[in-house]
Structure 1
Amino acid sequence: MSLTGLFLSSFLIVHMAGNLQLFKSDGGRAFNEYTYFMTHNPLIMTVSYLLYTSILVHALMAYVLTRHNQSSRPVKYAYSKPEANSDWSSRNMGILGTVLLLFIIIHMRTFWYEMHFGSVPMAEYDGKQYKDLYAVVKVAFGELWYVVLYVICMVAVGYHLAHGFQSGFQTLGVRHKKYTPLIEMLGKYFFAIIIPAAFAAMPIYVYLQVHHII
């Protein structure tokens, strides 16, 4: 579970970097060229199958570990004060993970499925044809309910990573007085705040553009 979680964390960096093309004022050209590269490069296509597998394994292992923990202690302690030993995100990883899994399903149906099996319009740049996935993005993020859902789920991503990133290293035995503070800082600030905030800004920006607010 730690290995798949850290792999998915590294994927978020690549995914965020690519999706930042949405902020370019070029009618979606940079974003469409990026999606074309991601879906036609043999190495990236191979890694994508590892990504899908990691999502399934991570979710399955979370379920198995949760059931194991429940069965090992079926009767709760008479008194406990969990907040004294753990933060909110660590105590609610199951809820956060469930929210994220549902979001991934909706997200992939909206974009991945449409890109591969939907009726996506075509765009032409320098005589070359590209699937206009930017048009799909504008339709999806033009809906206020989807933007709100996306932003809420990015908050869940932040809380999930705030505990999960450093926990993954700890589970693998990576504990050192020199490196652990850096790992914890990366988890709490870069993965828990910067990455979710960047992702949340994308649907808001596109929504404002679609409705000519900016």
Structure 2
Amino acid sequence: MWLTCSSIGRKFVMALTGLCLVLFVTFHCLMNGVAIFWPDGYNAVCAFLGANWYALVASMGLAVLFIIHICYAVWLTLQNRKARGNDRYDVVRKPAQVEWASQNMLVLGIVILAFLVVHLIQFWAKMQLAEIMGIHEPDPQNGMYFINVAFSCIWTPIIYIIGFIALWFHMNHGFWSMFQSCGWDNDTWLPRLKTIGCWWTSIVVILFIIQAIVFTIRASNGCF
């Protein structure tokens, strides 16, 4: 099959799943903003995205996207290393920032995956999963309560900010490279896509970091 048997096909799958994940991360950032400006609205969103059939289907679809993206990333990395052979041990000049991200996408992905595991334990496992299992104390739809609990821990903002920095490098390179994999690699569009990707990624990640700081301050001051 073309999507699995050719390098171009595998890169296309990476690009498609990456695009879906970028859109999800953007949505998640906007959802977190609701928690800052309208706590009751955030809890309403959490109730809407609880153990309802449509939310469960979306969660399973998102999980499949993550798994496919990770599997294909490892697959392409091993393929590239095999193709380079001993050349990867040659000493080369220090690459530029984006080139560094390109050479370390797998490592960045592992850091993001570790951060994701922490995030799932702190929120998904205590909210949607708890609701599925019939656990109602504390209320799994009270998202503000779980934000307060998570960000009352001193390690939470540190772990999150490290994860957000890794996400910036990963998304910044991945944004324009997914279009490049689809053939948008000419001298006119590629610089534009790099600029758009940098702005998009920077805005999302900066908002995430600001949100983590605000959540931490409010949790420490008992403002939730």
Normalising by structure 2, we get a TM-score of: 0.81
1:29 aligns with 2:40: yes
Trace 1:69-84 onto structure 2 (pairs within 5 A): 69-76=80-87, 78-81=90-93, 83=95
> Which amino acid in structure 2 is aligned with residue 47 of structure 1?
A
Q: Offset of 1:42 from its aligned partner?
A: 4.9
Q: Which runs of 5+ in 2 are unaligned?
A: 1-13
> Which amino acid in structure 1 is aligned with residue 82 of structure 2?
S
Give CA-to-partner distance per residue, 1:50-100, whole Å, 9 cap, x none. Answer: 211111111111111111112222313544236169622112111101100
Instruction: Give the distance between the partners of 1:86 and 1:132, measured in 2 at CA.
Output: 40
Give CA-to-partner distance per residue, 1:13-32, whole Å, 9 cap, x none. Answer: 111111111212x5x31211
Q: Percent identity?
A: 27
Q: Offset of 1:170 from its aligned partner?
A: 0.3
Trace 1:32-181 onto structure 2 (pairs within 5 A): 32-39=43-50, 42-76=53-87, 78-81=90-93, 83=95, 87-115=99-127, 116-117=129-130, 120-122=137-139, 131-176=141-186, 179-181=189-191
After superposition, the CA RMSD in angstroms is: 2.3
Aligned to 1:189: 199
Instruction: Give the distance between the partners of 2:193 and 2:90, measured in 1 at CA.
Output: 35
Aligned pair in 2 of structure 1 residues 98, 179: CA closer, same or farther (>3 Å)?
Answer: same
Aligned to 1:125: none
- Greater alpha carbon shift after TM alignment, 76-85 vs 142-151: 76-85
Q: Which runs of 5+ in 1 are unaligned?
A: 123-129
Aligned pair in 2 of structure 1 residues 169, 203: CA closer, same or farther (>3 Å)?
Answer: same
1:10 aligns with 2:23: yes
- What is the count of residue pairs matched by the alignment? 204
> Which amino acid in structure 2 is aligned with residue 171 of structure 1?
S
Give CA-to-partner distance per residue, 1:32-61, whole Å, 9 cap, x none. Answer: 111112236654543332211111111111
Greater percentage in helix: 2
> Which amino acid in structure 2 is aligned with residue 13 of structure 1?
T
- Greater alpha carbon shift after TM alignment, 70-79 vs 133-142: 70-79
- Kept in 2, the 8 Å contact 1:120–1:136? The answer is no
- Kept in 1, the 8 Å contact 2:50–2:141? The answer is no
Give CA-to-partner distance per residue, 1:133-167, whole Å, 9 cap, x none. Answer: 21111110111111111011101111111111000
- Kept in 2, the 8 Å contact 1:120–1:132? The answer is no
- Kept in 1, the 8 Å contact 2:175–2:197? The answer is yes
Runs of 4+ in 1 over 6 A off after TM superposition: none
> Which amino acid in structure 2 is aligned with residue 75 of structure 1?
N
Instruction: Give the distance between the partners of 1:171 and 1:82, measured in 2 at CA.
Output: 25
Partner SS for 1:75: helix
